[in-house]
Amino acid sequence: MAGNTEPPVLLKALQHNCAQGGQTMEAIMKSAVKREADLVLIQEPWGEKVKDSTRSHPSFTFIKGEESAVPKCWIAVNRTSGCWITELKNLAKGCRNYVQVIEVVPPGGDAIIIANVYDQEDRTKKSRPAQDAAWGEIVKLRSMIISRDMNAHSKMWNPKATYSRNHTFGECLIEEEDLFVWNMEEATRKGPEAMNHFIIGLTLSSPNIELDWRLLDEEAAGSDHEVLLWGVLGTPPPRADTSAETTGWDISGWDPTGESEEEGKRKSEERRAKARECYLVGARRTPIL
């Protein structure tokens, strides 16, 4: 009997803007426990004047950045995760908690750099601190994922966008570094006051990263931002060998490892084709089939 050829999930993460809500933080942490997430990449964990009840959690520990700065990004790490995680503070130095960068080594996988980004304007200084991170160094790293929440609109990641705003930095980063946009066409921000189709929560990666990405529109976290779930996929395991004695087939020329690799590539191409088509339409290009 053939074995399981689905690629293993090396790392599972939730991505969400909690809109400075303590109850939303509690809801997303419950979802993380239920889904056995390794990481929760949080933007706007709580406001300056909000009484915080989630500074600690029995199942997760928090990476909070500079304690003296207003919290803009937090990363929650599952205490039972087998991943080895290191915070790379130098790559986000001077960003005032608008960016966090970590190195994650999942069991059986290679090191992955993950950037948790809240790319919004700091109105007190009329700047966008997230763009001050060491992006030149970050994007040079071999395997990278960017979890990004931003007030920026572009057809490059949202084919239904009716206008462009604050888009230049994001477009240049994607184009120049050949980053892959995993979002589909679903809006990532919804609500009674949402008059437009907004995709402001993005998941980007370097081309060699394969994700199982989806939007959890059924997940009610109490925020007008949608919860994003993605898993880093590894190499599919080889199929179990099958003998001619039990099947009656002559499979002497069959390479089960090679077929497993081909099947994995086919599934990978199908997933990427769907995401890539959305990206190319948004960029006003013709998909290459």
Any idea which fold 9-237+257-282 has? Deoxyribonuclease I; Chain A (3.60.10)
Q: Are 152 and 183 in contact, with CB atoms under 8 Å apart?
A: no
pTM for the structure as a whole: 0.76
Q: What is the mean pLDDT of the chain?
A: 76
In whole angstroms, give the CA distance from residue 80 to residue 272.
31
pLDDT tens string 223-240: 667 888 999 998 755 545
The answer to whether 128 and 119 have CB atoms below 8 angstroms apart is yes
- The four Cα atoms 271, 227, 5, 280 give a dihedral, to 10 degrees, of 10
Distance CA 81, CA 135 (A): 28
Percent of the chain with pLDDT over 90: 31
Q: Where are the domains of the chain?
A: 9-237+257-282
CB count in 10 Å sphere of residue 138 = 19
Strand positions, DSSP E, 18-165: 39-43, 60-63, 73-78, 84-87, 99-105, 112-119, 144-150
Query: Measured between alpha carbons, how far is 99 from 119 in angstroms, rounded to an integer?
Result: 8
Cβ–Cβ contacts within 10 Å for residue 167, how many?
18
Q: Are 211 and 202 in contact (CB under 8 A)?
A: no
Neighbours of 270 (CB within 10 A): 9
Q: To which residue do tokens 């790319």 refer?
A: 119
pLDDT tens by residue, 3-57: 556 788 999 999 988 876 667 788 888 999 999 999 999 988 875 555 544 467 8
